[in-house]
Amino acid sequence: MSILNITNRILTPSTLSNLDSSSSLLPLVVKDGANTAGRTMMAKNEGGEHESREKFIEETGTAALWLGGIPLSRKIFDKTIFKMACLNPDVSIKKIINKSPQQLTELELKKLSPNASLVLTGEQLAKKYKHFHVAKFLVSTLVPFTLLTAVLPKLNQELSRKIILNRALKEEKAGSKPDNSQVQSNKQSDFVDRNVSFKSQNLKKLEDNFLQNTTKPIGFAGNKKSNKAPGFSGFETIIGRAGKGLLGATAGAEVNSVDNMLLLDLGISGNRVAFVPRNNQERAEYALKEGGILFFLFLAQKIIKNQFDKLSNKLKVPVDLDFKTLSSDSFKNKMQEIYNVPTKKGGVKQLTQFTEGSVGEKLEENAFSFISKNHKTHKFLTLQAAKELGIIKTNAKGELNPAKYIEIKDVEKLSKDIGKFATAMLDSGLKPEAFISKTKKVKTGFLAANLAICSVALGYVLPKIQYVFREKVYGSKEFPGIKAYTEEAKHLSEK
């Protein structure tokens, strides 16, 4: 099997679509993988054994709980809590809270929840759905948040403390000094700043000192009295900003899981800067690191994509359409049909009929009515493409799924993008198949470059900046938290 065939099997239209989607977790998996691998390897070379171990545990543990925690928690909640309450987890919260033509009537909601409707009125049932959806959102966010902020960091730091203490004890018993490769000389250590006494040579005293300095919660610099753990109220503030209160945030998380991931990551990053660091030097590093990670995980890809979109406009090759649409037989056939029309551009009007037929004062109502009447026919490519992309969901009978909400703005954008593509194809003079092939190549190149830029930044550039910052400001490449441990171990051995 040739390399090209293997590549084509891996990079299917569905895979490329997910890599290019702002609502898919796959780009985060790729970028976080680069971040984990790059930081772990650089920590081994620059920071030493202990930092390398800490980074590996921190990054891989975070990746597993961060990327898998929310989807897994939501699935478990659906299979257990919703099931026990006789509720249908497929019912979108937007179908209940949005005042629009898509809002479910009491009768429709009861039909979707036959067991629960036996004892509840329609109003009571709607309220119960709201409460359970909000609970699912909070649980699926707070469970990984707690594990990643209160459990994993403390276990990781405790492991380093134990290893360094045990090594110091063994070397003390053997009458040897600690390995200087892990101990950087620094007369102004953080423990000196904290006025910690090193007079005692008793291992118990050393262990107590470590425990005191590594388990005591630390607030922001300047807030010496703060020793409280991160409370729910601060996290609730972040949630409130994500939408119109909890209901808005819950609805947003249901539509786009990446928004939920960003919300979780903001909480994790805030905690890592405020509470996880063992001293202020480590806090400064975490602030630098977390700011860069947030930018390249969530913001940079969109910014870079916008620049590539501008370049595509200059090349007159629009790359707005999804890979699955570009690879669809129905799309190719419709483009060929338009190409074959004698007047050519006259055929484009049909592609934008959804947009034209849904404008007016009652945009949502007109658009939903248009979809309801025409989604079964093959006349409108926009509606066919929307179903293939999952924007419009149908049941086994081909009817609109009453439990699922249709994002009208996404259908409208798709309609405009198809019209834009058809116009560019006709202007290019190329046959449909050739123009589609050219578009997919350009789009794939842009996507690969985008992911490469973000991955290199996360896996190499940002960690490198971090070590340069550490060496210039603190005079050592050793991780500040680890350095605090090794400095005290070194002092013990010299007594």
List pLDDT tens digits, range 352-362: 556 544 444 56
pLDDT, the chain, mean: 80
The answer as to whether 404 is a domain residue is: no
Specify the pLDDT at position 6: 58
The answer as to whether 206 is a domain residue is: yes
6: left (phi over 0), alpha (psi -120 to 50) or beta: alpha
Closest CA to 27 of 451, 411, 471: 451
- For residue 245, pLDDT over 50 is answered with yes
Q: Which residue has the higher pLDDT, 151 or 7?
A: 151
The answer as to whether 345 is a domain residue is: no
- Cβ neighbours of 190 (radius 10 Å): 21
Specify the pLDDT at position 451: 96
Specify the pLDDT at position 201: 43
Specify the pLDDT at position 488: 65
**CA distances in angstroms from 150 to 106, 174, 396, listed in the order given:** 43, 37, 45
Distance CA 93, CA 101 (A): 14
Lowest mean pLDDT among 331-335, 339-343, 362-366, 487-491: 487-491
Per-residue confidence at 183, pLDDT binned at 50, 70, 90? Answer: very low
Specify the pLDDT at position 240: 39
- For residue 230, pLDDT over 70 is answered with no
Q: Which two tokens stand for residue 332?
A: 């190719």
Specify the pLDDT at position 132: 95
- For residue 391, pLDDT over 80 is answered with yes
The answer as to whether 148 is a domain residue is: yes
Specify the pLDDT at position 220: 30
- For residue 211, pLDDT over 50 is answered with no
Specify the pLDDT at position 257: 83
Half-sphere exposure at residue 347, Cβ-oriented, CA atoms within 13 angstroms: 20
- The angle at the Cα of 319, spanning 315 to 324, to the nearest 5 degrees, equals 150
- Rg, Å, the chain Cα set: 28
Lowest mean pLDDT among 311-315, 354-358, 377-381: 354-358
Closest CA to 442 of 328, 329, 325, 318: 318
- Cβ neighbours of 178 (radius 10 Å): 20
Residue 127 C-alpha from the chain's centroid: 30
Contact status, residue 290 vs residue 269, Cβ threshold 8 Å = yes
Contact status, residue 73 vs residue 64, Cβ threshold 8 Å = no
- Cβ neighbours of 155 (radius 10 Å): 11
Specify the pLDDT at position 205: 47
- Mean pLDDT within 28-56: 89
How many independent structural domains does the chain possess?
1
Q: Which residue has the higher pLDDT, 167 or 350?
A: 167
- Mean pLDDT within 281-299: 90
Closest CA to 251 of 73, 94, 72: 94
Specify the pLDDT at position 305: 94
The answer as to whether 220 is a domain residue is: yes
Quick one: what percent of the chain has pLDDT higher than 70? Answer: 78
- For residue 399, pLDDT over 70 is answered with yes
Specify the pLDDT at position 347: 54
Domain that holds residue 49: 11-310+449-494
- For residue 233, pLDDT over 80 is answered with no
- For residue 282, pLDDT over 60 is answered with yes
Q: Which residue has the higher pLDDT, 113 or 246?
A: 113
Specify the pLDDT at position 478: 77
| Secondary structure of the chain as H, E, C letters | CCHHHHHHHHCCHHHHHHHHCCCCCHHHHHHHHHHHHHHHHHHHHHHCHHHHHHHHHHHHHHHHHHHHHHHHHHHHHHHHHHHHCCCCCCCCCHHHHCCCCCCCCHHHHHHHCCCHHHCCCHHHHHHHHHHHHHHHHHHHHHHHHHHHHHHHHHHHHHHHHHHHHHHHHHHHHHCCCCCHHHCCCCCCCHHHHCCCCCCCCCHHHHHHHHHHHHHCCCCCCCCCCCCCCCCHHHHHHHHHHHCCHHHHHHHHHHHCHHHHHHHHHHHHHHHHHHCCCCCHHHHHHHHHHHHHHHHHHHHHHHHHHHHHHHHHHHHCCCCCCCHHHHCCHHHHHHHHHHHHCCCCHHHHHHHCHHHHHCCCCCHHHHHHHHHHHHCCCCCCHHHHHHHHHCCCCECCCCCECCCCCCCHHHHHHHHHHHHHHHHHHHHHCCCHHHHHHHHHHHHHHHHHHHHHHHHHHHHHHHHHHHHHHHHHHHCCCCCHHHHHHHHHHHHHHHC
Specify the pLDDT at position 285: 85
Specify the pLDDT at position 85: 92
The answer as to whether 1 is a domain residue is: no
pTM of the model: 0.77
Lowest mean pLDDT among 228-237, 335-344, 387-396: 228-237
Specify the pLDDT at position 5: 58
- Mean pLDDT within 87-102: 92
Q: Which residue has the higher pLDDT, 228 or 448?
A: 448
Per-residue confidence at 171, pLDDT binned at 50, 70, 90? Answer: confident
The answer as to whether 115 is a domain residue is: yes
- Cβ neighbours of 328 (radius 10 Å): 20
- Mean pLDDT within 290-314: 94
The answer as to whether 364 is a domain residue is: no
- For residue 321, pLDDT over 50 is answered with yes
Distance CA 48, CA 50 (A): 6
Long-range contacts of 354-357 (CB under 8 A, 24+ apart): 354/380, 354/382, 354/383, 354/411, 354/412, 354/415, 355/412, 355/415, 355/416, 355/419
